[in-house]
Amino acid sequence: MTIRLGIVGVGKIARDQHLPAIAANPHFDLVAAASRHASVDGIASFATIEEMLAGVPDLDAVSICTPPGGRSDIVRAAIAAGKHVMIEKPPGATVSEVVALEQLAADAGVTLFATWHSREASGVDAARDWLADKQVTSVAISWREDIRVWHPGQDWILGPGGFGVFDPGINALSIVTKILPTELSVESGALHVPDGRESPIAATVQMRCGNGAPGRVDLDFLQTGPQSWDIVVETTAGTLTLRDGGKTLSIDGKGAAEGGGIDEGEYPRLYARFAELVPSAGRDVDLRPLQLVADAYLVAHRVVADPFEF
């Protein structure tokens, strides 16, 4: 089955990850794009999803790569047109809007795939399998990257609903909610919000595992030099460490493969999963990472940080 695909939102993440992954997957034929300020060479390009759906009515599916704010209306338009939908993370600006979208997709009989690309990093499945029968005693997440490198000039990310440092931090939460044999809950935290901005540029969050083990999340959007995306899970049987955003796995310091940045296979694996879901109109929507971020906003206290400009 060849899936005629349209993409909505042609920004950095679409060009860096989505377009190459689509081109490499024989199940997809990218035939249209919708973006306010960009286009894709060689295919029909439109300013809005409504124009795209009207101009290319025989699309089978839509991949949505816009920022989370305002995305709900885009997804709704695609579902109303009977299109299967894949969504870049985070799946929406609020938990409730994604719950509603999942029901709309079910009622319409179309796929809704809320993606978490970091779950597709090469060390994640092996980490989940090793932890499956282990007693967790603590979890530590350290996610530090440079906002100017990954989101150059993107003021929306520090605005209302932009997620701030939780935009990368939710990647870590997507991994731990997949690999841990216990649920997580948020207990307290501190959100460091630059003066004049609305979303945090750094955060610390204290969490608790279902078995009572403590968890801590440290997020920083001002890391310069080498970037670091690390998860350490202590258990009664040893220490599991995931580095490089889930790419490099070691147990008690042994078995680590060479790291070196984000796993280039993450997005190809997402599109392979989307291609599996479409023929049966299956849905894959896990909201646990988004729920943890929402809980952090509810219970953490706000700290005014220094002003920030790109």
Q: Which residues are known catalytic residues?
A: 89
Q: What is the widest separation between alpha-carbon atoms in the chain?
A: 59
> Residue 76 has which token pair?
């709704």
Q: Where are the alpha helices (DSSP H) in 90-245?
A: 95-108, 124-131, 147-150, 166-179
Determine which helix (DSSP H) or strand (DSSP E) holds 207, and give its type and residue range: strand 202-209
CB 207 within 8 A of CB 187: yes
Three-class SS of residue 97?
Answer: helix
C-alpha–C-alpha distance, residues 187 and 301, integer Å? 11
Alpha-carbon gap, residue 89 to 71, rounded angstroms: 11
Count Cα neighbours of 90 within 13 Å in the Cβ-side half-sphere: 32
Q: Token pair for residue 278?
A: 């479409």
